[in-house]
Structure 1
């Protein structure tokens, strides 16, 4: 199948839109005509660390329509509208326990996982393309996926809105709804109002009597966060946030979410918590946070990590899309749509804070 793809040839250079050939689906594979694909921070981080000596095809927030399926595919049919997400084996202890994001084979399946068959999935100019990112590589007009990462959704849902639910929106919303689970009267502090943080704000707005504070440097995103349900948005550039937030929350937040991956921010989130409270970290950063161990122990605080919102995608993504359809999770307000040929413009707009979540369309 000839189509166009957004390729990375050199981590230091821009993306290139070039023709590629996508193979027909073999056993266990699903060919999806991509309608839209969100750009996630993970795509950009992986690109910077990726190979410079051959084209790399990224993209792991794809959404589209099933074109055809190979033998042994069950539960997905041509014509289905689908959201693509991360892969998992379905058989290891974590998968069986309902924690597929922590699948024992996650790295093998999601980090440019090899095809079970000899033929390349994607070719450019006759040579193979490094693909299989999150089992989809959806920065192209077509993608090959498998049943474990292909979620059938209501065909009435706008696929450009649905695409980021495959990772970013699922991560932020799941951190709140599945991991933190704040109850009535809770104070949640969200650090970082990018796509993941904004999804957390939207998720908290669906819970009764949960108050939200956001810590964010961008004035445009602070304004949007308050419009979407945050009670207050704090600019960390104005000075240390811990004392301000502890006063605002009446002695300390009950829950916090760090989306930044910055060690010092995670330390601030912990210090902002009240007794017995929890902070969840979803940002993939480096370094060691300067944590006061006495504060952690004496006040019974908890720090925990969370991947992909601790979700079971086949259940959680349709649940979130139901909330969107009901007007309770207005994810469309976070999205900027761009033709896939405009990827550099999309990235520039995101860096400038003009949009929260860029979505490429085919």
Structure 2
């Protein structure tokens, strides 16, 4: 079938709208009509780094309606409302333990721009187009995806806003609620107040953290963090010594820290703000070759833990419905982060997000 897609054509170039040919779903695949899709920083990283050689269709926070399913698909049926998330195999040692975000074939299933057999789902005439991004490539009117990517969305939830649960929201909230598993009464430092960092603030509030500190340069985002439950906010421009600023609030340091910034100097400063036995979770993407923050002797002496976190350690079939329940109950107002744009304005929307005019972009088909 013909689909309209926003195609990445190279670093520094805007997305181009093209009519592409999308395969019919195979026996293990699902065809979804995209209703909306969030724009995530990872989309931009892959586009600018040409990590899937252009031309390519990105997008991995889709939501939509199932149109058709392959013969082996049993989880969803045509007409189902679905949120789309990352792909996992469902049968490796990690998936068997509920660690879908660390599926042994995660890179192959999500990042290579094609099916695992090397075929492409998308073509521009005779030219193959990179796709299958996170098992979906939802910067398009329709996407081929898989059962493991999909979570049904109840009728009372706004399908147009639900896509970011598939990556950004579950990464931030899950990083605090699942990976760090911050206990009630604990202290947490969050660096970066974008959609992931602000979702982490909401998650910390849900967990009952006593002290929640957000470091963020934009005043409006610091104000919003306070509304979401942050007990303290730090403007890094006004307090360049982050370690000292945190220890002025908690002299003994923080129990947990969560970095969304990807700035090596910030990560290094966070290590100096950890309490004894403190745990530092990292989701921010750093430049290639960046060393692990901290000093080995200090890590050993104070029993620190530094851990990478993917997708908030989420098992989507379990965690996304939990997040939906929190939103319904008013505990996870992630919709307040979102500004919607028509799909046709993808380049303008990305520019607005980059300039800080909005926090989280969702494109409406």
TM-score tier, shorter chain, comes to: over 0.9
- RMSD of the TM alignment (CA)? 1.8
CA deviation after TM superposition for structure 1 residue 118, in Å: 8.3
Deviations 1:214-260 (A, max 9, x none): 01112221122112211121111122111121121242111110112
User: TM-score of the superposition, structure 2-length normalised?
Assistant: 0.94
Cα deviations by residue, 1:106-136 (Å, 9 ceiling, x for unpaired) = 1111113533678742222343211111110
Aligned match of 1:114: 114
In structure 1, the residue matched to 2:327 is 324
Match of 1:3 in 2: 3
Query: Could you tell me how far apart the structure 2 residues matched to 1:93 and 1:289 are?
Result: 27
Q: Which residue of 1 aligns with 2:71?
A: 71
Structure 2 CA distance for partners of 1:317 and 1:290, relative to 1, 3 Å = closer
Aligned equivalents of 1:149, 1:213: Cα separation in 2: 33
SS of alignment partner, residue 130 of structure 2: coil
Match of 2:140 in 1: 140
Determine if the alignment matches structure 1 residue 334 to structure 2 residue 337: yes
Q: Please give the per-residue CA displacement for 1:144-183, whole angstroms capped at 9, x wherever unaligned.
A: 0011111112122112321011111111111100111222
1:22-49 deviation line (CA, Å, top 9, x unaligned):
2221211100010111111111111112
Structure 2: distance between partners of 1:86 and 1:345: 26
Q: State whether structure 2 residue 65 is matched by structure 1 residue 62.
A: no
Distance 1:140 1:326, change over 3 A: same
TM-score, normalising length: structure 1 = 0.95
Equivalent residue, structure 1, for 2:17: 17
Partner of 1:87: 87
How has the CA–CA distance of structure 1 residues 54 and 180 changed in structure 2, closer, same or farther, with 3 Å as cutoff? closer
Q: Which residue of 1 aligns with 2:180?
A: 180
1:244 alignment partner, SS class:
helix
Is contact 2:59-2:137 (8 Å) kept? yes
**2:296 counterpart of 1:293:** yes
What are the equivalent positions in structure 2 for 1:1-362 lying under 5 Å apart?
Answer: 1-50=1-50, 54-115=54-115, 120-238=120-238, 239-286=240-287, 287-289=290-292, 291-362=294-365
Alpha-carbon distance change, 116 to 192 in structure 1, aligned in 2, over 3 angstroms: closer
For the structure 1 residues 5 and 268, does the alpha-carbon distance in structure 2 shift closer, same or farther, using more than 3 Å as the test?
same
Counterpart-to-counterpart distance in 2, 1:294 and 1:318: 42
Give the paired residue count: 362
Q: Where does structure 1 lack aligned partners over 5 or more consecutive residues?
A: none
Distance in 2, matches of 1:221 and 1:316, equals 26
Preserved CA contact (<8 Å) 1:276 1:301? yes
Look up the SS of the partner of 1:190 in the other structure: strand
Task: Say if 2:188 and 2:209, in contact at 8 Å, map to a contact too.
Answer: no
Return 50-59 or 128-137, whichever deviates more.
Answer: 50-59
- Aligned-partner SS, 1:237: coil
